[in-house]
Amino acid sequence: MRMKVLPAAAVGVSLLGAISAQAGAPEQISFPGGDGALQGWLYAPGGAGAHPAIVALHGCAGLTDKSGAPSARHADWGQRLAAAGFVVLFPDSFASRGLGPQCKESNREARASRERVADAEDALRFLAGRPDVDPRSIFLIGWSNGGSSTLYAVQPKHGADGVDFARAVAFYPGCRTPLETGRWKTRMPLLILIGGADDWTPPAPCVDLAAQAKAQGDNVETVVYPDAYHDFDHPGLAVHVVDGLAYTASGGGSAHTGTNAAARADAIKRVESFLGVGGLPAH
């Protein structure tokens, strides 16, 4: 387990500075899914050639805000990663099924372990078939409920027709259920980033899950950020309490959420390194 958080001044500029670089506006698209067309938002870098790509999985609040555009955290990462040279696709697991936010719903039609994994694999197939994407360099990133989906999507039983993700990142996923199975494994390198004070999806099960997987020879790194809550990488969310949640650490339905500047800066740097910005990792 890694507990050290680097000061913001020590963070490089590739992704921290990439947000100011020129990148096209996101495009709302549809693409084939197992149950019909899936909706999504695509961020594309400028320039010709086959680019690395990312399938990005939104959290339980959904992908978009009240204006219908990607919400602040998703837009920040989409713009940042596109400016760094990635084609970024956010499949909208909820709007595609006529669903709204699911954070307060205990019975979810788009389950992290099934429908959302299928959406990630459909997005993988779609990106692999695009002429502007290098199919050998497609990555998976998920946040919260999307982070939980990432934990299921990286297991050996999953995959997609001869193409696969190169590696994956899970921001503050729910690790308790995969841990309790005692059988969780990952077929690819995985980075888990979570807040030490997270009372929505607590860090201890993720630390234990990573230790269990590493004992089996899997490549898993977990970074726990002291004093950081859920959504610590949001570009500007004041820490506050959300009530009425279906699943929390205490079971009481209340949890903190909000930005932690030091954790956010370090997470950006770690994602940059893990995805090989400036030199993609070997497959």
Give the chain's domain count.
1
What is residue 48's predicted lDDT score, i.e. its pLDDT?
A: 85
Task: Evaluate if residue 23 carries a pLDDT over 70.
Answer: no
User: 159 with 193: CB under 8 angstroms?
Assistant: no
Task: Evaluate if residue 16 carries a pLDDT over 50.
Answer: yes
Residue 252 in domain: no
CATH assignment of the domain containing 209: 3.40.50.1820
Domain extent for 24: 8-240+257-275
Task: Evaluate if residue 230 carries a pLDDT over 60.
Answer: yes
User: 74 with 56: CB under 8 angstroms?
Assistant: yes
What is residue 37's predicted lDDT score, i.e. its pLDDT?
A: 92
CA atoms of 263 and 90, how far apart (whole Å): 23
Phi-psi region of 130 (alpha: psi -120 to 50; beta: other; left: phi over 0): beta
CA atoms of 213 and 220, how far apart (whole Å): 7
What is residue 11's predicted lDDT score, i.e. its pLDDT?
A: 30
User: Tokens for 258?
Assistant: 């909000």
User: 112 with 119: CB under 8 angstroms?
Assistant: no
Residue 246 in domain: no
Place 159 in a pLDDT band, splitting at 50, 70 and 90. low
Task: Evaluate if residue 185 carries a pLDDT over 70.
Answer: yes
What is residue 195's predicted lDDT score, i.e. its pLDDT?
A: 98
What is residue 106's predicted lDDT score, i.e. its pLDDT?
A: 87
CA of residue 197 relative to chain centroid, distance: 19
| 237 DSSP β-pair partners | none
Task: Evaluate if residue 271 carries a pLDDT over 70.
Answer: yes
Residue 219 in domain: yes
Quick count: other Cβ atoms within 10 Å of Cβ 114?
Answer: 12
CA of residue 120 relative to chain centroid, distance: 11
Residue entry with tokens 């609040």: 61
Distances (CA, A) of 161 to 128, 151, 168, 241: 10, 20, 18, 43
Average pLDDT rounded to a whole number, residues 261-271: 97
Task: Evaluate if residue 279 carries a pLDDT over 70.
Answer: no
Average pLDDT rounded to a whole number, residues 27-56: 93
Task: Evaluate if residue 250 carries a pLDDT over 60.
Answer: yes
Q: What are phi and psi of 110, to 5 degrees?
A: -105, 90
Q: Which residue has the higher pLDDT, 161 or 135?
A: 135
CA atoms of 63 and 235, how far apart (whole Å): 15
Helical (H) or strand (E) element with 120: helix 115-128
Q: What is the pLDDT of residues 94-136, one digit of tens each?
A: 999 999 889 999 889 889 999 999 999 999 999 999 999 999 9
Local structure of residue 205 (DSSP, 8 states): H
Average pLDDT rounded to a whole number, residues 186-210: 98
User: Tokens for 252?
Assistant: 């009481």
Task: Evaluate if residue 18 carries a pLDDT over 70.
Answer: no
Residue 45 in domain: yes
CA atoms of 148 and 229, how far apart (whole Å): 16
What is residue 62's predicted lDDT score, i.e. its pLDDT?
A: 96
Place 240 in a pLDDT band, splitting at 50, 70 and 90. very high
Place 280 in a pLDDT band, splitting at 50, 70 and 90. very low
What is residue 154's predicted lDDT score, i.e. its pLDDT?
A: 97
Residue 37 in domain: yes
Residue 282 in domain: no
Residue entry with tokens 């595609």: 96
